[in-house]
Amino acid sequence: MKIYFERSGGFMGRNVSTVVDTNQIPPEQALSLLNKVDKSDFFCLPESSSVGPESASGADHLCYKVTVEVAGVQHTVETSDENAPEELQPLLDELSHLARGSDTAVSHTGNPLSGGNR
């Protein structure tokens, strides 16, 4: 499974993104992510829940874009901290933590599926 993650906005305006391949991380971390994707019923979540700066009621809201790819099937969910489904929050928290601590985290606004720039 691959997960493409972007977080933008917030009070400081710091954008982070990362790509996580569960075949390339420790098994316990991969299992944790797999469980969070499964528990969130990720592939049944709507693709968008009114995200973007124009829909946020405050400048300090975070916006998320998460794409999960399993066996060649992809699903993308875009949401904000204000509109995120409760069942998605544990996955967003873990991915945010990974992106902040990862040397693959980058500050860009490009599409992670296109490779992006460092």
Residue 77 domain flag: yes
Q: What are phi and psi of 8, to 5 degrees?
A: -135, 170
Tracing tokens 């790509």 back to the chain, one arrives at 19
pLDDT tier at 101 (50, 70, 90 boundaries)? confident
Q: Average of pLDDT values for 46-67?
A: 72
Confidence of residue 32 (pLDDT cuts 50, 70, 90): very high
Q: Tell me the backbone φ, ψ of residue 9, rounded to 5 degrees.
A: 90, -150
Count up the domains in the chain and report the number: 1
Residues 81, 67: Cα–Cα separation, whole Å: 17
| 25 belongs to a structural domain | yes
Q: Is residue 117 part of a domain?
A: no
Q: pLDDT-based confidence at 109, cuts 50/70/90? A: very low
pLDDT band at 60 (very low <50, low <70, confident <90, very high): confident
Name residues whose C-beta falls within 8 Å of residue 34's C-beta, 6 or more positions apart in sequence.
1, 22
Q: Is residue 53 part of a domain?
A: yes
**33 located within any domain:** yes
On whether residue 115 sits in a domain, the answer given is no
Domain range spanning residue 52? 2-107
Tell me: pLDDT of 104 over 70: no
